[in-house]
Amino acid sequence: MNELPSVSVTDLADDAVLLDVREDDEWAAGRAPGAVHIVMNEIPVRLGDLPDLEPVAVICRSGGRSGQVVQWLNAQGIDAINVDGGMRAWFAAGKPLAGDDDAPRVM
């Protein structure tokens, strides 16, 4: 079995563009600034909306959903990597957050 390509939040470039596959309410609560939001189950029909760079860094809450998306994208020939620990690790590392209210948080 192939190992899932992954990167830690601390090894991501500060200007990395992330593909956030969480649900709308999770996205609204807190996200990485500049991230592209496509809910996991919409990925197959929205491939044209993926960030125009590879590898695509995929993130979710804790790494499970993004890992599934990375496997699927890789099977389609798209170079993608999973962000270990997801937005929980992002938040814990003190990375910047944007949100739809005054106090972004991670759900």
Rg value, the chain, Cα: 13
Nearest one of 32, 10, 8 to 19, comparing CA atoms: 32
Selecting among 60, 70, 73, 80, the annotated active-site residue is 60
- Judged on CB neighbours under 10 Å (0-12, 13-18, 19+), 80 is buried
Active-site annotation holds for 60: yes
Q: Measure the CA–CA gap between 82 and 69, rounded to whole angstroms.
A: 8
* Beta-ladder partners of 98: 31
Write out the catalytic residue numbers: 60
